[in-house]
Amino acid sequence: MLRLAGQKTLNPPKKQPAPRLAFPINTATIEPYRHTQEPRMIPSYTVFGNPVAHSKSPQIHQYFARQEGVQIEYTRTLVDNTRADFDNAARTFLQQGGAGANITLPFKHFAYDFADTHSERAQAAGAVNTFVPQKDGRILGDNTDGEGLVRDLREHLGIELRGKRILLLGAGGAARGVVLPLLAHRPANLTIANRTYSKAVELAGIFRIEAAPLTQLQPCYDIIINATSSSLHHAAPDVPPDIFAGCFLAYDLFYADTATAFMQFAAQHGAQQTADGLGMLVGQAAAAYEQWRGFAPDIAPVIRHLRAQAAE
């Protein structure tokens, strides 16, 4: 591993108190939906998106169903990019007995507005990726993205977050969706850095945590998470290379069949371990499946299977 010479001696960021969020949270307990049709009826789920043909969600949820020992139907639903078309597609699916749905880009904000009520983490994210029908007919909007990241880190990679110094690169929707679940595991501190510093300050202010300019970061973090869109363009974010010195995990929310540009850059400059977001994808699906069915899937064998499949 490459360690850069001439590093400055730095004081680690101050330990942050338990998070106090700067937005109202509905703490009412919402009873999970339970399928009430005849046992021989196969529950139906879908994922709404555009594009959606590439989605691995049907495959992942079928793996979960096999673990549970049940049959489910899980489809992809392509929707035109308008609020009216999304609302109509979601309403039709749910009125026809859909037992739950996932929502991917570009509809997560439409889904937030469509839902009748929201989980705490959906409110924190300002977006919804899961619909959970309730017994009273209402639709609970949840966001399992951050929970998926945490499950991958803890259950699959074996990393305990408590007491860790975490740097989150990016201040868009992907970053916002993971902050609250990360804070729930009591890291020593969580810092947000972004190319546009004002956006980092704005997002950090919501969660009462620290912000930093992207180009002025120092090498004092245990875990560095890339929530920017850089890997979509096969590039690494514009950060000082020495921030990876002493970093034991560099994690990219984006996933691919080979190491992303961020993962390669981090490894070249000192990160002890790198990982992409495939495990997060499986983890967020598992969190949704557990809400729908009350069964907690084991994500590790599903991740291994998808990796092996990609290598073929």
**Residues taking part in catalysis:** 108
The single residue listed with the structure tokens 């993962």 is 263
What are the Cα distances from residue 36, in Å, to 17, 99, 169, 198?
A: 44, 10, 44, 49
